Chains A and B, each alone.
Chain A
């Protein structure tokens, strides 16, 4: 890409929204939803009926709201929302250690037979969802940080030229 094209591409950012970052945010939310609907499987007795699942539900609501607001922020090249997305993304990776890993290592009695609460197939699936969600959010944040830097540099140059 020539320098001229690069400059035009930067200049376009003054008028075009950062749909790349916001799109990745939506993707992050979507995979989180997939994770959440996949995690509660029925034939596991009363394993999930603890305070943990309550907290998980509340966190999920907060996550979706925060991720959506951040998606609007990064769409408009707001740098600070990238940090929100970074935190949310890292938490998605941490969440692997909480319910999925615990459930995977726990057993419960189903019809007097010891059964693994979360079997391998489900475990791998929910981990993939969380990893994809976290990766999408972190990538979105990094793209926005980079674009914000480029846009600010470009605006600075324009201001200098204008002055």
Chain B
């Protein structure tokens, strides 16, 4: 397989709109990198630049150490799987999977072996004589993957491949992609706006916003130690709660509440004494206790957990809070609940960056 290096890559369109700013990434051999971010953050543009479907305005792209910045897409030895499958409706599944190799005028017997091997991997052997219209969305996406596999490319590129599938099928196909990655040990770049896909699939995640890379790290790093407020709010479901607080001696003072700090937290916030910071608390890090008192506005039972939505504070604009409590609860709107913050993240209010990674 292959290594991929993206060095200081920019994308500036003809109308001077810049979609990607100084993108740097080293993809190791056999690594599955997920580019994640909201719509319009530049993740698909980056993928298309890697594929050769978009020009790279500035910077270099290296595949196995070889500069392919200006190499045409067809010569890059990469295979792309699109959200829309892009299958030929008049061809059978076998013909769809064999198509790229047929165009390359490969030996038909070799093509046959490759198609059967890919179909076996993807569980499509019994579907080979069918047309795409006769298959479900998940099966069609597997065909699109099979079409990539037969080419045996150096790098696989996935552009939101699961977005067209319903929730159940998405989960199943996601697991198939993961198994496929383990089986092929291929270098893969995967674009999604779904953080669940990112967290479950990725060896490393690249979180992007407005064309800038916000953080690169393992799923656990992004979840546990978000680099800034954007990453903290984007990764995790429900998203992290944020409160404006002032650092005081041994505690954080917010709007109508105060939270005690451990000695370690006090050490982290040593330089912020008397200053305003942003306190971040994940809903799953909130339990029933005596740190903060809130008023319930909505109670959502999920079976194993209950999402309790409410607000805390005494000002005109009280802060919203969402807590993911264990078990089944039956809070009514207007009920008062006391919460405890089991784990805290701290962010600089001006730069929005995490204060020493948050503990």
Give the B-binding residues of A (Cβ under 8 A).
5, 8-9, 11-12, 14-16
Instruction: Tell me the nearest residue of chain B to A7, going by C-beta.
Output: B109
Q: B108 in the interface, Cβ–Cβ < 8 Å?
A: yes
Q: How many residues of chain B are within 8 Å of chain A by beta carbon?
A: 11
Please name all residues of chain B whose beta carbon is closer than 8 Å to the beta carbon of A5 when the two chains form the complex: 109
B residues 98-115 touching A (CB-CB < 8 Å): 108-109, 112-113, 115
Give the A-binding residues of B (Cβ under 8 A).
92, 94-95, 108-109, 112-113, 115-116, 128-129
Instruction: Tell me the nearest residue of chain A to B116, going by C-beta.
Output: A11
Chain A nearest CB, measured from B349 CB (Å): 63
Instruction: Tell me the nearest residue of chain A to B111, going by C-beta.
Output: A12
Please name all residues of chain B whose beta carbon is closer than 8 Å to the beta carbon of A9 when the two chains form the complex: 108-109
Q: Which 8 residue pairs are nearest across A and B when measured between Cβ atoms? A: A15-B94, A8-B109, A12-B112, A15-B128, A8-B112, A5-B109, A15-B129, A12-B108
In contact, A8 and B128 (Cβ under 8 angstroms):
no
The CA-CA distance from A9 to B116 in the complex, in Å, is: 13
Please name all residues of chain B whose beta carbon is closer than 8 Å to the beta carbon of A16 when the two chains form the complex: 94
Chain A nearest CB, measured from B124 CB (Å): 12
Chain A nearest CB, measured from B112 CB (Å): 5
Please name all residues of chain B whose beta carbon is closer than 8 Å to the beta carbon of A12 when the two chains form the complex: 108-109, 112
The CA-CA distance from A12 to B113 in the complex, in Å, is: 9
Contact among B92, B95, B112, B129 with A11 in the assembled complex (CB-CB below 8 Å):
B112
Please name all residues of chain A whose beta carbon is closer than 8 Å to the beta carbon of B95 when the two chains form the complex: 15
In contact, B92 and A8 (Cβ under 8 angstroms):
no
Instruction: Tell me the nearest residue of chain B to A12, going by C-beta.
Output: B112
Q: Select the residue from A9, A11, A12 with max chain B CB neighbours within 10 A.
A: A12
User: Can you give 9 A-B contacts (C-beta < 8 A)?
Assistant: A8-B112, A9-B109, A12-B108, A12-B109, A14-B128, A15-B92, A15-B94, A15-B112, A15-B128
